[in-house]
Each structure stands twice: as structure tokens, then as C-alpha cells.
């Protein structure tokens, strides 16, 4: 029987926890290749590893293990956090978290992580920078507006902020151009396929590709929908409560935002989605609920089409 090893990772260190029979074993190492090797030299030979997808700090360790052919699972932090909560864990520190993560692995037996490619990682970094620049532009624009409402305003501050915004806008445009160019170079066919779906433009198609990387990471469209946090939750208790709740929101909010606006566009220009809007509206569904359902459908269409290497065909997604 495999030994599950929990990894609680941070910027500089990693806490490693596992159970040998009834005994707890703990190791604290540096978050670098020397620390990774020390872990392999210390844990049982049959070990499987599980960690949270914490920012980017987990990535090097996960790649190190995957490249050696070792089972490593990378899980959504919310899933592990909820598991820890149900276990009524009273203490909260890196060491105890590593044991809780190991216990999660032993009880849930999570599937192995499929590594993202180097190109996908670079695209994700570019997308993150584009989003950061967008936030900075909004923040500084708001700051200009706020200062401008004051009776005594420093023109030097306003000019400096305006200069900063102009620079950030230029950098944002430059990175966006490089981002699209890299997608076209590395994922030209996938971009062509997804962009052919009415309602999805080049930018969202590129973002979708950057977020997913390799569509083969997912066995079916349901997994991809869950990855974006578009899966509806379910509330059921005895015979008094049995209904679908809101979407899980467990994935990246930025990608959901892109897909939501694509849903609005698809409701007008995508015949399949227009029919869906009409049908659900007649059933009394709220507009936002319908748009989320359409965004869900767009993801299913994109997944099926990429898997079958097929350009958009009306009603294609209904059979997948």
C-alpha cells in the first residue's frame, strides 16, 4: 500500500508530512532542487505525493516529481481546506497542514497531476501580467479622479500618474501582442478551432488555450467545466431539499469573466446558444443563469471540437 506524503509549500520552504504505521514523520526542506532530493531520500520508496496549487510556488516541486515518474497530485486549495475543516483540525500551522494534506491523499486517492508545458506556463505568466497591468491602469485612473475632486490638487502628481498610465498601457499592448503571437505559433490549430465558435473572439480563445494548456489533461468536458468553476453545486437533504445551487466558482475568476461575456455575445450570434436562450427564458430562468449555462455550453463545444480537431458546426456540441 502506497504511503501518501503531504506537501505544504511556501516561497522558500516546504513542510513534508507522512504517516508510517501510527507514527507521524515530518521534514522541513528548502523549496529548491536540493530540498526536493532530500525529500525523496527520506520518504518511503512507494510514496505518492499530494500538494495544493498555491500560486506558482508549487510548480518546481511538482515538475521535479513528475519528471521522475513519481505520482504527484496537485489539488485545488479549497478542496483540501474543506477536507481539513470536516476533520475538525484544531491547530493550524505548516507542519500540521502537511499531515492533513497527507491524510487527504490517503482518503481521497487523487489522480496524478498532468504537467503543464513550458509554453503554457509562459502564456499563463503573460496573461497574468496583462491582467495586472489592467488593474494598475484602473487603480491609477481612479486615483487621478479622486485627487481631481480635491480643491488643492498637485499637478505634479496628476502628470506623474498620467505618464505612468501611458507607460503601462504601452507595455500592456506590447505583451498582449506577444501573447497572441505565441498562441498562434504554439497552438495555431486550437486557436483556429475555438475562434470559429460564434461568440468567442481571438482574445478569449487565446486565454482559454493559455489556461488549459493541453486539452488532453482532461478526460471529458465536465472536468474542464469544473476546472473553470462553472459547475453548478447541488443542495440535497432528505426529501425537503433537492435543488441545484450556484456555480462552484472554484476556478479562476478572470477566465469565468471572459466566458460570461462570450456567453452574452453567443446568445446573439451563436444559433445553438440563441435557441438555448429562448428555451430557458420560456422556462422562466433568470438572464444571468442562462448566460452561465451558455458559457458552460461554449466550454463543452470548445472541448469537443479540439478533441475531434473539428471547426464549429451548428449543433455539434449537443451530441457530446
pLDDT in tens, 57-68: 999 999 999 999
> Is the pLDDT at 257 greater than 70, yes or no?
yes
- Indicate if the pLDDT at residue 122 is higher than 80: yes
User: Is 0.85 surpassed by the pTM of this model?
Assistant: no
Does residue 228 have a pLDDT over 70?
Answer: yes
Cell of 291: 448566460
Is 199 exposed, middle or buried (CB count within 10 Å of its CB: 0-12, 13-18, 19+)? Answer: buried
Q: What is the average pLDDT across 126-140?
A: 96
Q: Which of 176-185, 222-231, 238-247 has the highest mean pLDDT?
A: 176-185
Rounded distance between C-alpha atoms, residue 295 and residue 49, angstroms: 34
Q: What local confidence, expressed as pLDDT, does residue 90 receive? A: 60
Residue 123 has pLDDT above 90, yes or no: yes
Residue scoring higher pLDDT (279 or 243):
279
* Higher per-residue confidence, 278 vs 319: 278
Mean pLDDT to the nearest integer, 220-224: 89
Report the pLDDT value the prediction gives residue 55, as an integer from 0 to 100: 79
Residue 104 has pLDDT above 90, yes or no: yes
Cβ neighbours for 150, distance < 8 A, ≥ 6 positions apart: none
Confidence category of residue 252, pLDDT binned at 50, 70, 90? low
Query: Which pLDDT score is estimated for 56?
Result: 86
How do the domains of the chain map onto residue ranges? 3-108, 118-186, 205-319
- Between 153 and 1, the more confident residue is 153
Q: Is the pLDDT of residue 242 over 90?
A: no
**Percent of the chain residues topping a pLDDT of 70:** 89
Q: In 3D, which of 7, 9, 31 has the Cα closest to residue 17?
A: 7
The band of 12, judged by pLDDT with boundaries at 50, 70 and 90, is very high
> In the prediction, which pLDDT does 63 show?
95
Check residue 319 and give its pLDDT: 44
Nearest C-alpha neighbor of 251 from the set 225, 277, 284: 225
Q: Give per-residue pLDDT as tens, 154-198.
A: 999 999 999 999 999 999 999 999 999 999 999 999 999 999 999
Of 73-82, 85-94, 107-116, 117-126, the poorest mean pLDDT is in 85-94
Confidence check: pLDDT of 234 > 60: no
Q: What does the pLDDT read at residue 232?
A: 65
Q: Band of the pLDDT at 320, cuts 50, 70, 90? A: very low
Distance set, CA 162 to CA 137, 148, 154, 197 (Å): 10, 12, 13, 38
Specify the pLDDT at position 263: 93
Task: Give how far Cα 89 sits from Cα of 3, 18, 47, 241, 251, Å.
Answer: 21, 16, 24, 29, 25
CA distance 60 to 170: 32
Most confident of 133-142, 244-253, 295-304: 133-142
- Distance from C-alpha of 206 to C-alpha of 190, rounded to nearest angstrom: 9
Q: Which of 265, 287, 123, 92 is nearest to 191 (CA)?
A: 123
State in words which class domain 3-108 has: alpha beta
pLDDT level of residue 29 (50, 70, 90 thresholds)? very high
Residue burial 294-308, b: 16+ Cβ < 10 Å; e: rest: bbbbbbbbbbbbbee
Task: Convert 19-45 to b/e letters by CB count within 10 Å (16 or more is b).
Answer: beeeeebebebebeeebbebbeeebee
Amino acid at each position: 500500500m502506497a504511503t501518501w506524503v503531504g506537501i505544504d509549500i511556501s516561497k522558500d520552504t516546504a513542510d513534508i508530512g507522512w504517516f508510517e504505521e501510527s507514527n507521524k514523520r515530518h521534514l522541513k526542506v528548502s523549496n529548491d532542487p536540493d530540498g526536493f532530493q532530500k525529500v525523496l531520500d527520506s520518504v518511503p520508496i512507494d510514496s505518492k505525493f499530494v500538494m495544493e496549487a498555491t500560486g506558482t510556488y508549487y510548480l518546481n516541486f511538482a515538475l521535479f516529481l513528475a519528471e521522475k515518474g513519481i505520482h504527484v497530485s496537485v489539488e485545488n486549495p479549497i478542496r483540501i481546506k474543506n477536507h481539513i475543516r470536516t476533520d475538525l483540525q484544531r491547530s493550524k500551522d505548516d507542519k500540521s497542514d502537511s499531515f492533513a494534506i497527507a491524510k487527504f491523499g490517503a482518503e481521497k486517492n487523487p489522480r496524478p497531476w498532468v504537467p503543464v508545458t513550458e509554453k503554457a506556463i509562459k502564456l499563463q505568466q503573460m496573461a497574468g501580467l496583462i491582467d495586472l497591468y489592467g488593474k494598475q491602469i484602473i487603480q491609477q485612473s481612479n486615483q487621478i479622479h479622486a485627487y481631481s475632486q480635491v480643491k488643492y490638487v498637485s499637478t505634479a502628481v496628476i502628470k506623474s500618474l498620467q505618464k505612468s498610465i501611458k507607460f503601462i498601457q504601452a507595455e500592456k499592448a506590447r505583451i498582449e501582442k506577444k501573447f497572441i503571437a505565441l498562441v498562434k505559433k504554439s497552438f495555431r490549430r486550437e486557436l483556429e478551432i475555438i475562434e470559429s465558435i460564434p461568440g468567442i473572439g481571438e482574445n478569449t480563445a487565446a486565454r482559454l488555450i493559455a489556461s488549459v494548456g493541453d486539452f488532453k489533461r482532461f478526460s471529458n468536458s465536465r472536468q474542464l467545466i469544473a476546472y473553470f468553476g462553472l459547475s453548478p453545486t447541488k443542495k440535497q437533504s432528505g426529501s425537503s431539499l433537492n435543488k441545484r445551487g450556484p456555480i462552484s466558482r472554484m476556478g479562476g475568476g478572470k477566465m469565468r469573466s471572459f466566458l460570461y461575456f462570450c456567453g452574452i455575445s453567443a446568445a446573439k450570434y451563436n444559433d445553438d446558444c440563441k435557441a438555448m436562450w429562448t428555451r430557458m427564458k420560456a422556462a422562466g430562468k433568470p438572464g444571468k443563469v442562462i448566460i452561465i449555462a451558455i458559457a458552460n455550453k461554449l466550454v463543452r463545444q470548445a472541448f469537443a471540437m479540439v478533441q475531434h480537431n473539428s471547426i464549429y458546426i451548428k449543433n455539434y456540441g449537443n451530441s457530446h
